[in-house]
Structure 1
């Protein structure tokens, strides 16, 4: 039976209206294929929507949103809503019926897109977070050390990670005595937030400023999780989040030139990923393990990259495949296996031509054309082809990417190493001079160690060149 009133505006419906909507409301939604409609505040008080929000499951919120009477007799098709969200209909079906999402960036984006009131959400939107950050900050670096003294490096890291002040993670990092004994999806999302915050800060400030805090955060959260209780579904998500955090701590240890500390975290990440049956996290851990081992144990590095390729078969995006083939290519080069290197580099470039994909994992954002060329340069350097390596590094540094400052600095120093091996000491010194100011801004122990190698090689070659003397003096005044 046709209702007497339009559920959208409350206006009276004509007796012969079989759409469930008045004509003005139908006209107002002609563009609903491209964007969500404006909805009244009462929309979010509808019982199925309220229940889904209380369950903290955005997929169920979206399903309740689609079936809301406000949209008329027929529910909004999944294909339409998926188009708003930038995913496929099949992906939306998995979101609605699967486990709760824990990736904060996607939660925020979709909540904003659907205009869900901030007060109804279980996580903070950016504006709310910014307001919280602007307020007084009670946390000091000393709070991160039980009985320790204030650590200047941790203070700078906290400043870089200002988003943590409003993420809800602070209580979990400062005291295990005050955190809840039962873990829900909210706490799992806090851990996921930490990973994203560390990743963003790392691209800008380097690992030296972040490594200790990441390790502390991982250890605190792991200790808390070991004592708390949680449901099976929360447990799987928690294992994945802690594995992700362990991988992030391992990567920061690698970039801080503290390689020996990285391997236990990667072993832990692989174990947690397998417990959660999360192949994506396991593949990320294997990719990081290949990076860790490529200098000292290149044979194992190849096996790790190949294992990651097998584990990701069927779902790997072109960018992920590119990264894994690059890992294998460089390891083959370190083994002096030219044919293996060429084979894997060809496969990497072929995969890269597949372009970006909506399912790309956040951690592979650095896999750009510059990164492909940079790994090619590193491989040539390992193979003793310094001229080709220098050409690759020159190409990378000629197109700086502000979003990846640390990588740009890394390849600038690698150019200096390649120029040194060619005997072009002036070019090596010039690259070193260009790198020095950035070393103070992007603190990467790995890069600093390489720059020290450049200085040592240049001094060994003699300081008769003016540019070499200038670099050595500048280095000694800045870093020595």
Structure 2
């Protein structure tokens, strides 16, 4: 039975109520035992969670532009709709496909998202390397469809091939990609997103190097490329490709300076502090210090929270306990001052969970696993559904801290409960830590039943 023949979906389509269709889509068993969260699907559709709730449960939406956009985003085959998709969308996709040399799909196959109208054909060309029917990859691929729903990657790629000039409308589209990459990463991890970001950054950078643009475009173009480079660097870090990340951070810093954009430069320095925290903690501390200097006079409390956290983690890696505790106190004091209207978008993840989580990782660096486990429990208890990847990551680190504190059986039980969830994520940063637990427990001379169960499940799932 195909995805669209599932009875609740068929009934929702026959009701001509797209909100019901969206709800049936979210609860489809193809997604696994848990429904897709409203927050995630709302992000794809360009609405808030509260608005999506009203769309699903209220009166039918009748505006054709909204209906067409949402149907296209979800990949609903046109033959199943009670309205027609605008011809312009179809002709644009066909023309882009022709330019890219990609054949048009014969039919819709939602199971692997190939040819789905949620993924414009040009975007499919960028992502065809990662297409799979494995359910464990569904959440990331669905997130990728969300990134491509408006066609920006394909549009920009085609424009980069053909247009000799760059305008502000192109810069705005490039900037919008950063936000979409960020949302998809928070929901599912960065493994496949990293490849796409690398491709898009390469094409746009090459275009910027040869294209014509006016002085009014130059500054915002460089700032936009700097932000995209910083986002690509973060995706590389989460995808376990740390060596790839540094060149993008260097590029981000250089472009931010060309654009006289200190905010993007601070973002890149904060990420560089994270990248070098464990291997070069002294450099990490210097990067955080530089970010403080550049942001002096305009940094918001949440930004200062992040920079104090970067300092604290570096100081913990340097085994300076008193300085670490001082920076943690400052981070909490800044966080308590609350959000600010001038908060930059890249600090969306800075919250109580992040403070507790980074404090816990610092306790691990200081060889205090019991304190780390306590802080991680607090972090997990204060999680946000938007940052699902972070929630899973901290739960894995809690299993690690529990093992290091001496409770092997409890650590094995925690790790066992995470095997399936980690496989559903697409973050090598997360899988690496669970793999480390597997290797450590596998060296025990007399493994207990919980340890054997975890190892069997881990090896069976092939994390």
Conservation of the 8 A alpha-carbon contact between 1:167 and 1:193 = no
1:142–1:150 Cα contact (<8 Å) kept: no
Instruction: Please give the alpha-carbon distance, in whole angstroms, between the structure 2 residues aligned to 1:411 and 1:382.
Output: 15
Q: Which residue of 2 aligns with 1:437?
A: 420
SS in 2 for 1:449: helix
Match 1:262 to one of 231, 242, 245 = 245
Aligned to 1:130: 70
Q: Which residue of 2 aligns with 1:176?
A: 160
Aligned to 1:144: 126
Deviation at 1:433, TM superposition (A): 1.7
By how many angstroms is 1:435 displaced? Answer: 1.9
Residue 126 of structure 1: how far off its partner (Å): 7.2
Identify the structure with the greater helix proportion: 2
> For residues 57-456 of structure 1, what are the structure 2 equivalents within 5 Å?
129-130=69-70, 132-133=72-73, 134=75, 136=117, 137-139=119-121, 143-144=125-126, 150-152=129-131, 159-163=142-146, 164-173=148-157, 176-178=160-162, 180-456=163-439
CA distance in 2, matches of 1:159, 1:398: 27
Partners of 1:425 and 1:392 lie apart in 2 by: 19
Report deviation, 1:152: 2.5
TM-score w.r.t. the length of structure 1 is: 0.70
Could you list the per-position Cα deviations for residues 309-352 of structure 1 after superposition, in whole angstroms to 9, with x for gaps in the alignment?
A: 11111111111100010011011001111122112111111111
Give the Å deviation of 1:173.
2.7
Deviation string 1:25-83 (CA, Å, 9 cap, x unpaired) is xxxxxxxxxxxxxxxxxxxxxxxxxxxxxxxxxxxxxxxxxxxxxxxxxxxxxxxxxxx
Instruction: Say if 2:171 and 2:220, in contact at 8 Å, map to a contact too.
Output: yes
Alignment of 1:33-52 (within 5 A): none
Give the Cα–Cα distance (whole angstroms) in 2 for the partners of residues 171 and 402 of structure 1: 31
CA 438–395 in structure 1, closer or farther in 2 if over 3 Å, else same: same
Distance 2:268 2:68 in 1: 33
Taking the aligned partners of 2:348 and 2:66, their CA distance within structure 1 comes to 21
The CA deviation at 1:414 is 0.8
Which runs of 5 or more residues in structure 1 are unaligned?
1-104, 110-124
C-alpha displacement of 1:165: 3.1
TM-score of the pair, normalised by structure 2: 0.72
Q: Which has the higher contact order (CA 8 A, sep 6+)?
A: 2
Deviations 1:456-476 (A, max 9, x none): 111223453221111111110
Q: d(CA) in 2 for partners of 1:160 and 1:434? A: 24
Residue aligned with 1:177, SS: helix
The Cα shift of 1:128 comes to 6.9
Per-residue deviation, 1:199: 0.2
Instruction: Judge conservation of contact 2:360–2:375 (CA < 8 Å) in 1.
Output: yes
* Structure 2 unmatched ranges of 5 or more: 1-43, 49-64, 76-84, 86-116
CA distance in 2 between counterparts of 1:419 and 1:292 reads 25
Cα distance in 2 for residues equivalent to 1:422 and 1:472: 20
Residues 140 and 191 of structure 1, relative CA distance in 2, 3 Å threshold: closer
Deviation at 1:158, TM superposition (A): 5.6
Separation of aligned partners in 2, 1:245 and 1:341: 31
May I ask how many residue pairs the two structures share in their alignment?
Answer: 358
How far apart are residue 239 of structure 1 and its match? 0.5
The answer to whether the 8 Å contact 2:273/2:288 transfers is yes
| Separation in 2, partners of 1:140, 1:469 | 47
Q: Highest CA radius of gyration, 1 or 2?
A: 1
- Going from structure 1 to structure 2, the CA distance change for 1:252 and 1:138 (only over 3 Å counts) comes to closer
